[in-house]
């Protein structure tokens, strides 16, 4: 074991949110090292999602999810434009396929207005079907500011800017344990080149594993580490041409946004994600395989708004896992970004429960993390 190396700021995790935090911190002039246990950026949740730039419609007014999504979308849009990265503001329909859902649409529209989302409009079935002839619905909400992006191109750009500002990413470098060592922290790094790092600041952006790492921060009161729950979402790709030009979402359900249609930047359609609560295996690993038998649920859900879905057209694609803070059946929880004013450890910020819309919100969350660290100096 070598000596303790001194660094200023460590960010743990090179997903979209960790990279956005690392970039923002490096741009303040800090010397930042990202510790990533995988061999590449964005190999977990950040590459296993819908790649939708969310408008910010659904989240409770005033919640961090609502604020960070709306602000993050605007920042992301400007970022993608300025860096000429692939994205498309294709818009989306939230569709009601029964009376109960139709009655719920005005409340969703009102929440969008409360959250400051631009342009959301209730439309009747005639207008919806004129715009999307293959659609079947009773009514819809049109969100013109929703879009899609190439999440990997975005993360590569964040990495490039981070490195341009002197940042370094250490791959195959797992943060195994952290000790509080006033001032700062000593991080035990495992993997290819085990070492001990002393950092004045630590940002725990370990995604699904952030609570587990939180419990390995010696000196952090476990009361400030929420329980982790995992909700898998599987996707099926559509073989053949995409039937819609916009994203099509059913009215939202409790733990997810319903089995929706999204498009990738190549114009290919995929459906998902569904919701399946899962537990890690004995080795802590999570199972990302897609069970072809779940296709049955997909056909049924999709045919409510696209009756012409041909039999045999869905192909198992991939799955992502949502880092949830609530148990199945409990109300959704907000993002939990816990800084020194809560847990009392100067220089430490933990990001817990960064599920959707974390990709959209990433630039806003990064600014928030910098502000939380700057508060104390």
Ligand X SMILES: Cc1cc2nc3c(=O)[nH]c(=O)nc-3n(C[C@H](O)[C@H](O)[C@H](O)COP(=O)(O)OP(=O)(O)OC[C@H]3O[C@@H](n4cnc5c(N)ncnc54)[C@H](O)[C@@H]3O)c2cc1C
The answer to the question of residue 207 lying near ligand X (CB under 6 A) is yes
Contact mark string toward ligand X, 260..279, x via CB under 6 A: -------------x------
The answer to the question of residue 51 lying near ligand X (CB under 6 A) is yes
Q: Say how many C-beta atoms besides its own lie within 10 A of residue 370's C-beta.
A: 18
The answer to the question of residue 23 lying near ligand X (CB under 6 A) is no
DSSP assignment string, 6-24: EEEEEEE--SHHHHHHHHH
The answer to the question of residue 200 lying near ligand X (CB under 6 A) is no
On whether the CB atoms of residues 218 and 186 are closer than 8 A, the answer is no
What the block records as the tokens of 38 is 């995988």
The answer to the question of residue 147 lying near ligand X (CB under 6 A) is no
- Which residue, 264 or 355, has its beta carbon nearer to ligand X? 355
The answer to the question of residue 354 lying near ligand X (CB under 6 A) is yes
- The stretch near ligand X (CB under 6 A) out of 36-44, 83-91, 125-133, 138-146 is 36-44
Residues 6 or more apart whose CB falls under 8 angstroms from that of 180 comprise 217, 218, 219, 220, 345
Among 11, 206, 261, 349, binds ligand X (CB under 6 A): 206
On whether the CB atoms of residues 289 and 233 are closer than 8 A, the answer is no
Contact mark string toward ligand X, 310..349, x via CB under 6 A: ----------xxx---------------------------
Residue, CB closest to ligand X: 358
- The stretch near ligand X (CB under 6 A) out of 1-9, 46-54, 139-147, 341-349 is 46-54
The answer to the question of residue 356 lying near ligand X (CB under 6 A) is yes
- Which residue, 16 or 251, has its beta carbon nearer to ligand X? 16
The answer to the question of residue 66 lying near ligand X (CB under 6 A) is no
DSSP assignment string, 122-147: EEEHHHHHHHSTT---SEEEEETT-E
What is the smallest separation between the CB atom of 45 and ligand X, expressed in angstroms?
4
> Is residue 303 reached through a cis peptide bond, with omega within 30 degrees of 0 on the bond before it?
no
Reference 91, options 61, 123, 54, 62; nearest CA is 54
Q: How many residues bind ligand X (CB under 6 A)?
A: 42
Cα angle 21, 254, 112 (rounded to 5 degrees) comes to 65
Residues 6 or more apart whose CB falls under 8 angstroms from that of 377 comprise none
Binding site for ligand X (CB under 6 A): 12-18, 35-38, 42-46, 48-52, 54, 174-175, 205-209, 213, 233, 273, 320-322, 354-360
């Amino acid at each position: 074991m070598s000596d303790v190396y001194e660094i200023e700021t460590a960010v743990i995790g090179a997903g979209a949110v960790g990279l956005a935090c690392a970039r923002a911190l490096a741009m303040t002039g800090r010397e930042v090292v990202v510790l990533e246990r995988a061999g590449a950026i964005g190999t977990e949740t950040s590459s296993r999602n819908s790649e939708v730039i969310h408008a910010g419609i659904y989240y409770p007014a005033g919640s961090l999810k609502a604020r960070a999504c709306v602000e993050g979308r605007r920042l992301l849009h400007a970022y993608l434009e300025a860096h000429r990265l692939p994205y498309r503001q294709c818009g989306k329909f939230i569709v009601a396929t029964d009376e109960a859902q139709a009655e719920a649409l005005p409340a969703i529209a009102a929440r969008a207005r409360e959250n400051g989302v631009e342009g959301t409009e209730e439309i009747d079935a005639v207008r919806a079907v004129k715009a999307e002839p293959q659609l079947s619905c009773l009514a819809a909400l049109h969100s013109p500011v929703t879009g899609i992006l190439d999440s990997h191109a975005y993360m590569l750009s964040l990495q490039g800017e981070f490195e341009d500002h002197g940042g370094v990413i250490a791959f195959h470098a797992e943060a195994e344990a952290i000790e509080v060592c006033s001032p700062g922290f000593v991080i035990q790094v495992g993997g290819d080149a085990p070492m001990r790092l002393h950092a004045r600041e630590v940002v725990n952006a370990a995604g699904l594993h952030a609570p587990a790492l939180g419990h390995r921060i010696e000196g952090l009161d476990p009361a400030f580490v929420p329980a982790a729950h995992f909700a898998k979402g599987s996707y099926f790709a559509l073989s053949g041409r995409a039937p819609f030009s916009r994203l099509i979402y059913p009215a939202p359900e409790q733990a997810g946004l319903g089995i929706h249609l999204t498009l990738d930047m190549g114009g290919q359609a995929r459906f998902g994600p569904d919701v399946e609560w899962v537990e890690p295996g004995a080795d802590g690993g999570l199972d990302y395989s897609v069970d072809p038998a779940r296709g049955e649920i997909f056909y049924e859900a999709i045919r409510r708004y696209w009756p012409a879905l041909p039999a045999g057209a869905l192909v198992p694609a991939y799955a992502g896992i949502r880092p949830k803070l609530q148990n199945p059946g409990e109300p959704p929880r907000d993002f939990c970004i816990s800084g020194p004013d809560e847990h009392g450890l100067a220089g430490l910020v933990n990001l817990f429960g960064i599920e959707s819309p974390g990709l959209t919100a990433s630039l806003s969350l990064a600014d928030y993390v910098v502000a939380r660290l700057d508060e104390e100096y």
